[in-house]
Amino acid sequence: MKKLVGYFFQGVIYIVPITITFYVLINIFNLIDKGTKSFIAFFLGADNPIISLPGLGILSLLLFVTFFGYIGTFLIAKPVLQYFQDTLQRTPLIKVIYTSVKDFVYAFVGKEKKFTEAVMVCMNKDSNVYKLGFVTSKDLSNLGIEKNMVGVYFPHSYGFTGNFFIVAAEHVTPIHAKSADVMKFIFSGGVSTMQAPQNNNE
C-alpha cells in the first residue's frame, strides 16, 4: 500500500507540472489567437483572408513569446546583471576573486577561448617526466620575461583546479588532438580514452 501511495505521488509530481504547463500554453494560445484575429478584423476587415490562414495563432504565439524574451533579456535582465557585475568589480577583495574566476570561465566558454592549444611539457629530462597542459600565454613581455618562455596551465585530475607554470618554449611539444579530449583525459587521470588524431591529408 505504501508503494502504491508513493507511486501515486510520484505520478502527481510528473503529471501536474506538465498538465499545468500545457494548460497555460493552450490558454495563452487561444487568447493570442483571438486577439490577433480581432486586431486584423478591426484594421483589415472581418472578411480578410489573413484571418483564416492556418498557423496564424501559433505564429502569433511564437512572436509574442520571442518579443517578451527580447524585452526581458535586454531591458530587464541585462541591466540588472550589469549592475551586479559592476558592484562586484568595485568591491576590493571580492573584485580579485570575481574577475579571476570570470576570466577562467571565459577561457573555457568565452568567445576568445584560451584552452585550445594542448601541449606536453618536459618537466625533468633526466627521468623523462612529462605533463599535459594548455598554453595560455605566449607573450610574457608585459612581465619582463624573455621571448622564449611561455605560460602553461596544468589542470589537476579529478578537480577543477590546476597550476600555472612559466616554462621554456623548447620544452613544450604541441599535441595534435582536440583540446576537449585532452582536458577530459587529464581530468579522468588518464582513464578516459582519446580519439586518434586524424590525418589532414585524408
The DSSP bridge partners found for residue 132 are: 120
DSSP state of 38: H
Q: Which pLDDT band holds residue 197 (cuts at 50, 70, 90)? A: low
Domain spans, the chain: 2-89, 113-187
Looking at residue 32, its pLDDT comes to 77
Torsion angles phi and psi, residue 191, rounded to 5: -75, -40
pLDDT tens for 58-105 read 777 777 777 777 776 667 666 776 777 778 778 777 777 777 766 666
**171: closest CA among 119, 136, 134?**
119
pLDDT tens for 144-160 read 887 788 899 898 888 77
CB 136 within 8 A of CB 107: yes
The DSSP bridge partners found for residue 155 are: 162
CB 106 within 8 A of CB 112: yes
**64: closest CA among 39, 42, 45?**
39
Looking at residue 201, its pLDDT comes to 46
**187: closest CA among 115, 114, 129?**
115
Q: Which pLDDT band holds residue 55 (cuts at 50, 70, 90)? A: low
Q: Return the minimum-mean-pLDDT range out of 40-44, 68-72, 111-115.
A: 111-115
Average pLDDT, the chain: 76
Q: Which pLDDT band holds residue 196 (cuts at 50, 70, 90)? A: low
Architecture in CATH for domain 113-187: Roll (2.30)
Looking at residue 63, its pLDDT comes to 78
Residue type, 162: G
Looking at residue 107, its pLDDT comes to 61
Cα angle 168-170-175, degrees, rounded to a multiple of 5: 105
What is the grid cell recorded at 117? 592549444
User: Which long-range contacts link 152-157 to residues 24+ away (Cβ below 8 Å)?
Assistant: 152/119, 152/121, 153/114, 153/115, 154/121, 155/183, 155/186, 155/187, 156/186, 157/186, 157/187, 157/188, 157/189, 157/190
pLDDT at 16 over 60: yes
More reliable by pLDDT, 173 or 27: 173
Looking at residue 78, its pLDDT comes to 67
